[in-house]
Amino acid sequence: MIKAKKSLGQNFLKSNNIINYIIKTANLKAGDIVLEVGPGKGILTEKLLEKAGKVIAIEKDHRLIDFLQKKFKDEIKNDKLKLIYGDILEYKPENSIKSTYKIVANIPYYITGQFLRRFLSSNFPPTTVVVMLQKEVAKRITTTNKESILSLSIKAYGQPKYIATVSAKNFSPQPKVDSAILLIDNISKDLFKNIDEQSFFQLIKTGFSSKRKMLINNLSFVPKDELEQIFKNIKIPLKIRAENLSLKEWVGITNSLKNKEVIHN
């Protein structure tokens, strides 16, 4: 028996219905290449192998690697499954994937934000992401009335969609909170054709630096009168807080500051 390690976010799925729901959401074709993060005991991997052309699975727990090597002996031998012992936050997909790929995974929750940002902003991003994550985080990412650095970081690269709530009862050991399936589709870097990616996120980070303050006060590196003019031009209320600004409005401010040469082109 392999005892679950809390430190690695090990909550194993035990429901075939949920697995089927994840697979359906990923809309897999026979030629698809899938990157799975944390295959665990392989419950999702098994279904991915049935539906996709090839699966690359990265697992950080060597006990599970031993287990999976036995379980998927044939699939590894005929190159349908590539099992990698390692940390997904250090993995470079371009080293083992040569075409487009999808990410489908029940991810360890402690890496959610870092993992999504790393892969979406990479120079070799997936075309689609389907992940299981904490319900509250999925809600925060998909909401339209209260943005966060995380939700904006995801919307800058793709379209997130809340697919379904998954009760904590579907996992073993059972986590304290419910989960959700999140789809991120239409992934691209199109937004950054005309604005500098680094300046854009630097602006957002500065804007969110003190959440209770008005945005205009957080952006104090720009002279106040200039900022007020920009807000008026793009029809943003002067007293707005960072969380109430949409992605489009952040782009508007970035463009205006770029034109004034306050930030990079």
- In the complex, minimum distance from the CB of residue 22 to ligand SAM, in angstroms, rounded to a whole number: 9
Residue 55 vs 257, nearer CB to ligand SAM: 55
Under the binding rule (CB under 6 A), the answer on residue 88 touching ligand SAM is yes
Binder among 23, 28, 47, 60 for ligand SAM (CB under 6 A):
60
Residue 113 vs 202, nearer CB to ligand SAM: 113
Under the binding rule (CB under 6 A), the answer on residue 102 touching ligand SAM is no
Residue 170 vs 254, nearer CB to ligand SAM: 170
Contact positions with ligand SAM (CB under 6 A) in 9-38: 9-13, 37-38
- In the complex, minimum distance from the CB of residue 201 to ligand SAM, in angstroms, rounded to a whole number: 23
Say if CB 157 and CB 216 are below 8 A apart: no
Helix (H, G, I), strand (E, B) or coil at 131: strand
Taken in order 91, 92, 95, 97, the sign of the CA dihedral is positive
The 102-106 sheet, strands edge to edge: 81-85, 54-59, 33-37, 102-106, 128-134, 179-185, 159-166
> If you search the block for the tokens 């054709």, which residue do you land on?
193
Under the binding rule (CB under 6 A), the answer on residue 116 touching ligand SAM is no
Rounded CA-CA distance 261/265 in Å is: 8
Contact positions with ligand SAM (CB under 6 A) in 63-82: 64
